[in-house]
Structure 1
């Protein structure tokens, strides 16, 4: 059939057919690379998430975050490989993407700093949801931790949203991290009262409260000799969840026992002198 074509047409076909075959094979290989790249990117994301899931300290949000990062990187390499099949100079494209990434990074420094801090907080886990923490002068119960911010709730139910970079750069006090906590309360008694009797009352109330732990052993002692009082410190270990309940109850019971046993708690007293200018003038 080709022999029946005019010579000039056969010459053009001889030139075009190899070109079409070459381009067609290039197109097919590009499509194959794209399909395989998308499949491999999905598998790589799944493998990454499973690998991080084996780490007990790794949060589910962090697993998804790293999995997504790996997926995007695989997609970028796949697109570059496809473009190379079409003769695109990927070196210059990579340089352009690098410059664009640098510009975006500089423009979003604060946001990226929050993300970096969020990743570190999710990995190290200095606190979890439900913990009561204090950081940078802000105290509250942790409600949630994301890549950008941490949500706290104050005891009076006020919501506080704190950027993660502000938390990561500060000392963190976690009051809920350990299962037990030491309760310190100071009582001031008058200098004329019996110190041994007062400490005996405190120890008796501690022993009567089953929520107070026997180990470590409770402690009572004279902490300070103040201007108007002898300060006795009580130190007792309690379960973290019972800290405030035990504090409130012991302070009330010890005060009531002090009143019943004649132990007085001094309070500031002030003498006020009044002057009558008219009377002084008459004298």
Structure 2
């Protein structure tokens, strides 16, 4: 064998040299093919992810989060097939690798049950969409605006603009109060007047003040009635509807406007008093 490999075939070039060159050329070809496949796969995966996300951005009624999720799944799927093709260029049998990866995935899944439950909950949140980016919600006692919904966690921005991270398993497993889902909300107030006040006058002042605000909706009709006879006041319960976007400011403004209007009309607004009798 050594004599055959050492046989000179052209200007000092032996058979062994030729075989070595062929082997190196084969390796070089495989490496170049692998690089080409990697570049092409990465480009296609990124392009597909971007295109799917832009579909969600193009239409206002579609949720971008859902399309971003689909784009990510497609991207990683393409990259996985790219990796398999790269291994095939080097003659690696991928069947055994896939089986090994499956076994390893099972072991990792058992070890990361908590993380996988968050991922499963994230998929449910993205598909069923009980909340979406921009909604003002209350989840598991935490209140804020939804900034991001990922496969592992949901990010909220509190009223004080503090970041709140809630695991998706807690989001999906808790009661979700979504204040943004409907375009209108009902505001509610309790206004107390003195027992000696003219109730008809007080009712008229409260109604005119609330209905006089441009943010108050005419329909559904405003509700206003005496609701309670307190220790020191007669309490009116008032309910009116407004746009959800202005709810908090509207509710605060009406309280002040009604107080000022009652004062201007001379309607007594009582406050708790205590009489102390001194024994002689």
Structure 2 residue corresponding to 1:178, chosen from 175, 182, 204? 182
Distance 1:220 1:62 in 2: 48
1:65 aligns with 2:67: no
Partner of residue 17, structure 2: none
Deviates further, 91-100 or 211-220: 91-100
Distance 1:160 1:48 in 2: 28
Partner of residue 127, structure 1: 132
1:219 aligns with 2:223: yes
Distance 1:72 1:104 in 2: 21
Distance 1:31 1:118 in 2: 39
1:74 aligns with 2:69: no
Structure 2 residue corresponding to 1:198, chosen from 193, 197, 202? 202
Q: Report the TM-score when normalising by structure 1.
A: 0.71
Deviation for aligned residue 1:70: 1.5
Deviations 1:247-281 (A, max 9, x none): 222211211222333433333333445679xxxxx
1:246 aligns with 2:253: no
The change in CA–CA distance for 1:37 and 1:116 in structure 2 (over 3 A counts) is farther
Q: Report the TM-score when normalising by structure 2.
A: 0.72
Gap runs ≥5 in structure 2: 6-22, 57-61
The change in CA–CA distance for 1:172 and 1:222 in structure 2 (over 3 A counts) is same
1:1-283 pair list within 5 angstroms: 39=40, 43=44, 46-47=47-48, 50=51, 54=55, 56-59=62-65, 61-75=68-82, 77-78=84-85, 81=88, 85=91, 90-123=94-127, 124=129, 126-129=131-134, 131-272=135-276
Structure with the greater alpha carbon radius of gyration: 1
Deviations 1:192-241 (A, max 9, x none): 43332221111111232222122222221233344443321111112223
What is the number of residues matched between the two proteins?
266
The change in CA–CA distance for 1:46 and 1:116 in structure 2 (over 3 A counts) is farther
Partner of residue 12, structure 2: none
Deviation for aligned residue 1:105: 2.0
- Match of 1:162, SS state, is strand
Deviations 1:65-118 (A, max 9, x none): 2122322332354356557x5xx6655433321121112222333333333333
Q: Report the aligned-residue RMSD.
A: 4.2
